[in-house]
Structure formats: C-alpha cells, structure tokens
Amino acid sequence: MEIDKNFTDDRFDKYNNLVDELREMIAGRGKGFKVSQIMNDQFWENLGTHRERMIEQIGKMQKSPSDEALAQEIRNADSIYEATRSYLSKY
C-alpha cells in the first residue's frame, strides 16, 4: 500500500516523513550489516580488554596488605568495581 503524497494535511507530515525514513533505512540495509559487524568486533575487543584489567586488579588486590581497608572501601562504594578502583589508587 503506497501513501498518497498529495495528501497535504499537517497532521500527516510527521507520518509521511517517518515512512520516507523507514524506506531509506530498508533500502540501505546491506550497509547496516558491515556497520554491525564492526561494532560487534569492537565490543568483543573491548570486553577482552576489560577482562584483562579485571584480572590485573584481582592480582593486585590479592597482594594487598590490608583486607580491612578493602572491606571499608566496599562498604562505602556503590559498586565492587568502584571500591576496587578506589582501593587500588590508595594502596
């Protein structure tokens, strides 16, 4: 079903614009695959980097001299990640 473009009612301008944008998106869907593949690759690379940083932090915490100081940071922080970062910057 095609939209009658000659219908010039302000109430329908937004709908007509949206329909045009959707048509353009559908026509360019092949381009979206390449972009999504790049985003997917970047996501996994970032996740791997994040994992390595977490392993590094765990190693530093295991060697830390004060379990009580770490426990205090955990009680005061909103998240374990924030507590660990704060603790490691202090010690």
pLDDT at 90 over 80: no
Q: Which range in 3-17, 45-59, 75-89 is most confidently predicted, on average pLDDT?
A: 45-59
Pick the more confident residue, 83 or 24.
24
Per the CB < 8 A criterion, the answer to whether 35 and 41 are in contact is no
Q: Which residues contact 19 (CB under 8 A, 6 or more apart)?
A: 3
- What's the pLDDT tens digit per position in 27-63? 877 777 888 889 999 999 999 998 998 888 778 777 7
Q: Sign of the C-alpha dihedral, residues 60, 54, 87, 89?
A: positive
pLDDT band at residue 82 using 50, 70 and 90 as cut-offs: confident
Pick the more confident residue, 19 or 5.
19
Q: What angle do CA 58, 59, 63 make, to 5 degrees?
A: 115
